[in-house]
Amino acid sequence: MEYTVQAPAALREPLQVPDKLLMGPGPSNAHPRVLEAMARPILGHLHPETLKIMDDIKEGVRYLFQTTNAATFCLSASGHGGMEATLCNLLEDGDVVLIGHTGHWGDRAADMAARYGADVHMVRAASGSSLTLAELRKAIETYRPSVLFLTQGESSTGVLQGLEGVGALCRANDCLLIVDTVASLGGVPFFMDRWEVDAVYTGSQKVLGAPPGITPISFNHRAVERYKRRQTKVKVYYWDMFLVGDYWGCFGRPRIYHHTISSTLLYGLREAIALACEESIPSLIARHQDCARRLYEGLTAMGFELYAQERDRLPTVTTISVPKGVDWLKVAQYAMKTYLVEISGGLGPTAGQVFRIGLMGQNATSERVDRVLQVFRESIKAVKPDYAFRKNASKM
C-alpha cells in the first residue's frame, strides 16, 4: 500500500533553538544543572529509581509550601492543571464557589469552576489592587461558598494578594481555601499550614526555573475529608486526587499505575527544587525582592508608571503602564529581534495596557535587571524616537 503523505522537508533540517533571555512572566531561564539533569537517560514510570526521585520531590515541595500534608505530589500538566485539579476535586454540581478576582486568573478559574457545575460568584478588586480581608469577609457572608479561590500572585496585573487571616475566615465559615501560587512561590512568603490554606499549587517554570509541564500541588486534611464526602466521582479521571496520590505514594497504600510520567521532567524539577533548598526560602525571597526594588527604581527613574499599587506589587512580575503613543507590540518585537530578550505585553484585562517584566529564578539578579532596563529603554527609543524619557534618568 502506497503512503501518499510525504515526510516533511522541515524535519530534514537540524533543530534550531536560540538562546533567549526570558524576562517575561514565565517561563524563566533554567539553571545549567536543571538542563544537564534533563539530558540523563529516560527511566520507566514505576522503576524504583523513578519512585525515589518522586519521593525526593514530595519532600522538597513540602518545604517550599511549608506544609506537612501527606497529599503533596505533582501533576503531569502545566500550572493550569493545578487549577483544574483543585477545583475538580473539591467541587460538585451546585456547590457555591467564590472567586477572588484580581486579574485574568480569576476569570480562568471562574470558567473552569462553571464547567464542573459549580454556582460561581465573583468578588472583584479595584484595578491594580488586591482584595482586603473585609471585602472577602463580606463576600463570604453574602454568598456562603463551600470554596474560596484566590490567586496570590496575579501575573496579568502584577498584583500580590495578601493571605494572612483568610484561612481562619474560611474555617469560621465552613469554606475551603484554594490558592494559586504559580507566579508567586519563592518570590514572597507562603505558609500553607500556618495560614490554613486547604489546597495550593504552583508552577514549575517560574521562580523554580524548571521546565513547564509538571505542577506541584498539595491538599490538607480538610480538603481530603471533603473529597471523601463527595456524592459523585471526580469528573476527570486524570485529576482525581486519590488516584494520582496513590501513584505518588501519598496515602500509605500500594503504588498504582495512573499515567506514564515524564522521567526527564522529574529530573529537572528535582534539581530545581534542590537548588531552591540549598539557597533557602528566606534567601530566595530576599533576592527576588531586592531585584524587584532595583527594577522599580530603574523604571521610575526613566519616567514610567507602574500599574499595580505600591502596597500590592508582586516582585516576580512587574506591570508597566504603556505610555501614550507607544506601540507595545512593536517594542516587544524589537527587544526580541534585536536583543533576544523577552518583554511581554498584558494579558486578559491588561491586554494592550501594560508591559510585563518577570524577575524569576535565574533571572532575578542585578545584572539581568540592568540588562532588561537597558533593552527596554533602547526598544522604546527605537519604536518611538521622540519619546521623552525623564531628563535626570541615567542611561542603563
Mark whether 134 and 234 lie in a shared domain: yes
Chain mean pLDDT for the chain? 97
Mark whether 269 and 307 lie in a shared domain: no
Mark whether 194 and 96 lie in a shared domain: yes
Question: What predicted TM-score, i.e. pTM, was given to this entire model?
Answer: 0.96
Cell numbers describing residue 361: 529564578
Domain boundary at 277, 302, 318, which?
Answer: 277
Q: Give a yes or no: residue 326 inside a domain.
A: yes
Over residues 60-66, the mean pLDDT reads: 98
Mark whether 235 and 179 lie in a shared domain: yes
Q: Give a yes or no: residue 18 inside a domain.
A: no
Which pLDDT tens digit goes with each residue over 310-354?
999 999 999 999 999 999 999 999 999 999 999 999 999 999 999
Cell numbers describing residue 117: 457545575
Domain boundary at 277, 309, 342, which?
Answer: 277
Give the C-alpha separation, 103 to 126, whole Å: 10
Mark whether 371 and 310 lie in a shared domain: yes
Q: Give a yes or no: residue 208 inside a domain.
A: yes
Domain boundary at 246, 277, 308, which?
Answer: 277
DSSP 109: H
Residue position matching grid coordinates 496579568? 156
Contact 175, 145 (CB under 8 A): yes
Q: Is the pLDDT of residue 390 over 90?
A: no
pLDDT of residue 396: 46
Over residues 278-301, the mean pLDDT reads: 98
| Residues forming beta bridges with residue 191, ordered by sequence position | none
Contact 342, 383 (CB under 8 A): no
pLDDT of residue 271: 98
Segments forming the whole domain that contains residue 310: 281-383
Over residues 57-67, the mean pLDDT reads: 98
Which pLDDT tens digit goes with each residue over 201-255?
999 999 999 999 999 999 999 999 999 999 999 999 999 999 999 999 999 999 9
Contact 246, 255 (CB under 8 A): yes
Cell numbers describing residue 304: 514610567
Residue percentage of the chain with pLDDT more than 90: 98
Query: Per the annotation, does 390 bind a ligand?
Result: no
Q: Give a yes or no: residue 53 inside a domain.
A: yes
Mark whether 145 and 53 lie in a shared domain: yes
E-assigned strand segments in 189-307? 199-201, 215-219
Instruction: Identify the CATH number of the domain in which residue 182 sits.
Output: 3.40.640.10
Mark whether 235 and 370 lie in a shared domain: no
- Helix or strand run (H / E) with residue 373: helix 366-383
Q: Give a yes or no: residue 5 inside a domain.
A: no
Mark whether 51 and 115 lie in a shared domain: yes
Which pLDDT tens digit goes with each residue over 146-164?
999 999 999 999 999 999 9
Q: Give a yes or no: residue 273 inside a domain.
A: yes
pLDDT of residue 336: 98
Instruction: Single out the residue of 380, 361, 268, 377 nearest to residue 21, CA to CA.
Output: 361
Give the C-alpha separation, 126 to 123, whole Å: 10
Over residues 61-89, the mean pLDDT reads: 98
Residue position matching grid coordinates 530566595? 284
Instruction: Identify the CATH number of the domain in which residue 362 sits.
Output: 3.90.1150.10
Give the C-alpha separation, 66 to 82, whole Å: 18
Domains of the chain: total: 2
Mark whether 195 and 296 lie in a shared domain: no
